[in-house]
Amino acid sequence: MPLVRIDLRRGKPAAYLAALRNGVYEALRETFEVPENDRFILVNQHVAEEFDCDPGYLGIARGEDLVIVQIFCANTRGVTQKKALYRCIAAKLAADPGLRPGDLFINLVETARENWSFGHGIAQYVEAAVPPR
């Protein structure tokens, strides 16, 4: 059920963007029990003037390749599972497309299950026919 938004500076090739999408999706499948094909990912690229971040907040060195991953999901997972997700995303994106872990910012936004409609104007996750997760 996660909805993923990935924001970064404009200029990366299509293969780089695909690696970001695939790495986040694979990490969600491995750590968050996301079902196969539950894949809703938006990539937004920004010109430099539209992308502002502190290059050293919390002592983490950030460069021009900063990627912000925002994941909207149901509020059903604990801290251990969330930490595993963060580590898994960082490892996958370090492997491909070669993103430095310091250039990865992840934000989870949790919502109640009734706040989701995947189509037809129906809140599928509060209907009896759809299993939880």
Burial class (CB in 10 A: 0-12, 13-18, 19+), 9: middle
pLDDT in tens, 6-25: 999 999 999 999 999 999 99
CATH number, domain containing residue 78:
3.30.429.10
Residue 65 lies in a domain: yes
CA distance 70 to 60: 18
pLDDT of 1:
78
Q: Which residue has the tokens 């780089």?
A: 16
Residue 32 has pLDDT above 60, yes or no: yes
pLDDT of 121:
92
Residue 124 has pLDDT above 90, yes or no: no
Residue 57 lies in a domain: yes
pLDDT in tens, 56-89: 999 999 999 999 999 999 999 999 999 999 999 9
**What letter represents residue 98's amino acid?**
G
pLDDT of 61:
96
Residue range of the domain that includes 94: 3-126
Q: Which residues are catalytic?
A: 2
